[in-house]
Amino acid sequence: MSKMKGIKCKLEIVDSNDTSKILAGQRSATLNRSVETMDSTSKDSEWKENEVGLKEWSMDADGVLVASDEVYEDLEEKWLNSEKIDVRITMPSGTKYQGRAILTDFPIDMPYDDLVTYSLSLTGDGPLVKTP
């Protein structure tokens, strides 16, 4: 059994030709997956019962801002124009998670005594597809 290293996981932006590009300077990323629960408990039950509700996903990432990075500039343009983004996370095993998302948070941190960094939050719009 081999363990996966986070450094090998890549967040990619996918264009209309299904060509992916990696965001420069990326440090970390998180793939969030959750499901709502619906209370289905009846009056004659001693235990709470639930059913599976709607699923949702999101991605968060951060990194060092690299001057003139084409992918970062594309993200900025999509944010300014309120456009949705096709994103993919590729795992070291080759497994990929892909979906369409809305860029909901996109700050730049400019500390006096350190590198300029970015972070971003993407909220899924529709299904997250897993491919081996």
**pLDDT, tens digit only, all 132 positions of the chain:** 788 888 888 999 998 888 899 989 999 999 999 999 999 999 999 999 999 999 999 999 999 999 999 999 999 999 999 999 999 999 999 999 999 999 999 999 999 999 999 999 999 999 999 998
Considering the segment(s) 6-38+48-127 as one domain, its CATH architecture is Irregular (4.10)
The domain limits of the chain are: 6-38+48-127
Residue 123 main-chain phi, psi, to 5 deg: -105, 125
Amino acid at 56: E
Overall pTM surpassing 0.85 (yes/no): yes
| DSSP reduced 3-state for 20 | strand
124, 94 Cβ separation under 8 angstroms:
no
* Pairwise CA distance, residues 31 & 55, whole Å: 13
> Which residue blocks in 12-109 are alpha helix, DSSP H?
70-80
Beta bridge partners of 63: 26, 118
| DSSP reduced 3-state for 7 | helix
